Amino acid sequence: MNQHAQKAAEFIRNESRTDWHDEALWFIRSKRDKAAHGIPEWEELRELASQVKSHVLSKLDQYLEQFEARAIQNGVQVHWAADAEEHNRIVHSILKRHQVQHLVKSKSMLTEECHLNDYLIERGIEVVDTDLGERIIQLKGEPPSHIVMPAIHLKKEEVGELFHEKLHTEKGATDPKYLTEAARQHLRQKFLTAQAAITGVNFAIAETGGVVVCTNEGNADMGVHLAPVQIHCMGIEKIIPKAEHLGIFTRLLARSATGQPITIYTSHYHRPKTGGAMHVVIVDNGRTAQLGREDFRNSLKCIRCGACMNTCPIYRRSGGHSYGYTVPGPIGSILTPGLDLKKYSGLPFASTLCGSCSDVCPVKINIHEQLYRWRQVIAEQGHLPAAKRQSMKWAGRVLSRPGWYNFFGKIGRWAIRRLPRPFLYNRFNEWGKDRELPEPPRQSFKEWYRENKRL
Amino acid sequence: MSKSKIIAAIQKNKPAEVLLPSIPSFETGNAKPFDAFVATAEAGGSQVFRISDSPGLNTVINTLFPEAVNIASPLPTVRSTIDLEKIQSTTDLESVDVAVIKGQLGVAENGAVWVTEADCGQRVLPFITQHLIILLDPADIVHNMQEAYQRIPVDATGFGLFIAGPSKTADIEQSLVIGAQGARSLTIFLEASQ
Ligand code: SF4
């Protein structure tokens, strides 16, 4: 069994919890629908967003250079990192130069991807994640299970217990309001003493050399404006040409993510504060390679809204941790095979190919088509598990020989009707593990047609 | 060094040039954006008041926040207890109960208000304060984000942002809680400038 299937099997063992997870995400998907339907030009916006991103990818080198030049003019220090290791090294050297011991971070999937926290903690720096969901999982020692709602897999009782242990809240307290207030007080102290703040980047404007960060909690700004040093880490694909394009993306992002018309804070950072320093780290880490894969380069358009996760029938019932990567769900399943085809060869199969992800994606990435395409690549390169390879081979033989097809059809119909259960439901029948085989028809369509064609 | 490597890899791998589409402004007819702004702002958790005279401003603030001890504002019409220009360190703003700032532009489709550091006195003020009040001229309300970005030069100052309500989170079991790390409330005073 592939890794995703195995972890998903563990996840669904607790049925009521699975249902709860499923419903929580579907609720967000419904809110997204309502918000999207409130905008008459919604589909036009999606199309424009997709086209702008296509354009950017086709001139990415020029836009990055333009962005860098403008940012430098603005007094920003720009760094380039080819991979995660270099990214971490750069961030650490900036912190060292400014003698930073206490660091606050707002949500950044890129730094998760690079495992920055561990790298810095090993080098003696205190790293505090300040988005509530991220702080929860950081205290719990877990990776995020969703890119927008990192702690969506946890129940309030679990958060209550965790906070009791780590933040000394009352034992047994589970009220989200009370727990959030406790986190607020705890994080305020961290903000006030931090010497540097790191944020991710939602959009980087080539024309003006500024970066845009969207949050609801205000944690990015509390960090950035209180600490003397601010560092913004971005993947190369975050570039947009001009500020006017923010009009499209800010209209799409929050509506797709949570159903809000816009995030509470949409912050535009262009220059360091008086007496402060501002750094931007531009990271490749596999993105240029993905740009070179014609069938898959569109995955770089992603604005990390999470809508494809919220709608996915597999994600909702298997949980973010089952994917084994920072970005889970449908988008994660088309990003990961490009990083390590063998390791993530199970993920493109964690899909029903229903296409719901592509339907909700605000930048119109053809996610389900790419999932299908990855399956082909995985098969061509011999990474299919043996059971799947064998059954595909046999299915191919049977389906290409009409005589065999008729014969096995007949046997199959007879067998399902007559054979005792243990013959049908056993370890060779992967499909029948949690499912009943369909009721077999009395005769095949061919047989029926022969009988009835004169009518 | 890595820069030239990354740029070279992009040049090698990028697709043929795709044209940049032009962006329409999505006119919403002649409907007045004012009512829509009030509705979306309130739906996002903001309180909206129409006030008619600035001298009454301080009375309104005191009525809304009777327990506020520290009031900070770069506006001369507001009776501040903290002089924003004289503070030694931004962490001194930790005790601010109410901050009052001017907003430059409101957006009807989402209830967001554009504010820059020039309006704040200190960049951190609208976040670190317990409660935030923004004064906005109803004449400065536009329909949507396209229109908003046409009107604002985003890099006119070093920092600018849209604020669309009080700080909030739903990170614990999707329950909405107002007052995460930023201001616990947002009050918008709509006041026509004379
Ligand atoms: S792939 Fe599309 S739907 Fe999924 S997170 Fe990215 S932008 Fe959102």
Residues A318 and A347 in one domain: yes
Residue among B112, B159, B168 minimizing CB distance to A269: B159
Looking at residues A48-63, what average pLDDT do you find? 98
In chain A, the number of structural domains is: 3
Question: Does the CB atom of residue A60 touch ligand 1 within 6 A?
Answer: no
CATH number for the domain that contains residue A356: 1.10.1060
Give the pLDDT score at B194: 47
Kindly state whether residues A239 and A93 are assigned to the same domain: yes
Which H or E run contains B163?
A: strand B159-163
Q: With 90 as the cut, is the pLDDT of residue A114 above it?
A: yes
Residue nearest to atom 4 of ligand 1 (CA): A308
Cα of A109 vs centre of ligand 1, distance in Å, is: 13
Using the beta-carbon criterion (under 8 Å), do A291 and B145 form an inter-chain contact?
no
Q: Is A87 in the pocket of ligand 1 (CB under 6 A)?
A: no
Q: How many other C-beta atoms lie within 10 A of the C-beta of residue A281?
A: 24
Cβ within 8 Å, pair B9-A225: no
The pLDDT value given to residue B167: 97
Report helix, strand or coil for A271.
Answer: coil
Going by C-beta distance under 8 Å and a sequence separation of 6 or more, which residues neighbour residue B161? A221, A265, A266, A267, A268, B114, B115, B116
Residues A26 and A147 in one domain: no
Contact A205, A212 (CB under 8 A): yes
Same domain, A414 and A311: no
Domain that holds residue A360: 1-34+292-384
From A336, A359, A384, the end of a domain falls on A384
The predicted model gives B16-20 an average pLDDT of 96
Q: Are strands A77-81 and A277-283 parallel, antiparallel or unpaired?
A: parallel
- Give the model confidence (pLDDT) of A219-267 as tens digits: 999 999 999 999 999 999 999 999 999 999 999 999 999 999 999 999 9
Final residue of a structural domain among A239, A259, A285: A285
> What SS3 state is found at A26?
helix
Contact flag B149-A191 (C-beta cutoff 8 Å): no
The answer to whether the Cβ–Cβ distance between A225 and B160 falls below 8 Å is: no
DSSP string computed for A285-347? TTHHHHHT-TTTGGGGG-----HHHHH-HHHHTT-GGGG-SSS-HHHHHHHHHHH-TTTTTTG
Domain boundary among A331, A353, A384: A384
Q: What is the mean pLDDT of chain A?
A: 94
Specify the ligand 1 atom closest to the Cα of A330.
4
Residue ranges per structural domain of chain B: 29-191
Asked if A103 and A196 count as a contact pair (C-beta separation under 8 A), the reply is yes
pLDDT at A367 over 90: yes
Please report the beta strands in A248-380, taking only residues with DSSP state E, as ranges in sequence order: 265-269, 277-283
Domain shared by A391 and A379, yes or no: no
Percent of chain A with pLDDT over 90: 84
Alpha-carbon span B80 to B87, nearest angstrom: 13
B42: phi then psi, degrees, rounded to nearest 5: -65, -40
Q: Taking the CA atoms of chain B, what radius of gyration do you get in angstroms?
A: 20
Q: Is A335 left (phi over 0), alpha (psi -120 to 50) or beta?
A: alpha
Residue A306 Cβ contacting ligand 1 at under 6 Å: yes
Tokens of A104: 């606050």
> Residue B13 is which amino acid?
N
H or E segment at A63? helix A60-73
Q: Are residues A159 and A306 in the same domain?
A: no
Q: Which of A261, A263, A315 is nearest to A32 (CA)?
A: A261
The predicted-structure confidence for B92-107, as pLDDT tens digits, reads as follows: 899 999 999 999 999 9
Per the listing, tokens 């080198």 go with A61
Please state the atom number of ligand 1 nearest to the C-alpha of residue A329.
4
Which pTM value belongs to this model? 0.94
Q: What is the DSSP letter of A452?
A: H
Q: Judge contact between B82 and B72, C-beta under 8 A.
A: yes
- Is there an atom of ligand 1 within 6 Å of A45 CB? no
Contact B127 A176 (CB under 8 A): no
Average pLDDT over residues A361-382: 96
Helix (H, G, I), strand (E, B) or coil at A107: coil
pLDDT digits 0-9 by tens, B30-86? 577 999 999 999 999 999 998 876 568 898 899 999 999 999 999 999 999 999 988
> Quick check: helix, strand or coil at residue B178?
strand
What is the structure's pLDDT at B53?
64
pLDDT of residue B30: 57
Domain co-membership, A173 together with A281: yes
| Contact yes or no for A216/B171 (Cβ under 8 A) | no
- Of 3.30.310.50, 3.20.20.70, 3.40.50.10420, 3.50.50.60, the CATH number of B29-191 is 3.40.50.10420
| pLDDT for A419 beyond 90 | no
A48 in the same domain as A102: yes
Same domain flag for A380 and A398: no
Size of chain B, expressed as the number of residues it contains: 194
For the beta carbon of residue A30, count every other beta carbon within 10 angstroms.
13
CATH code at A123? 3.40.50.10420
A interface test, pick of B172, B174, B184, B186 with most A CB neighbours within 10 Å: B172
Question: A251 and A312 share a domain?
Answer: no
Where is A68: in which H helix or E strand? helix A60-73
A307 lines ligand 1 (CB under 6 A): yes
Residue whose C-alpha is closest to residue B5's, from A76, A80, A77: A80
- The owner of tokens 């003019």 is A73
Helix (H, G, I), strand (E, B) or coil at B92: helix
pLDDT in tens, A281-334: 999 999 999 999 999 999 999 999 999 999 999 999 999 999 999 999 999 999
Q: Whose Cα sits closest to atom 6 in ligand 1? A: A302
Q: What is the largest CA-CA distance in chain B?
A: 65
Q: Residue A366 and residue A191: Cα distance in Å, rounded?
A: 41
Examine the domain organization and report whether A139 and A170 are in the same domain.
yes
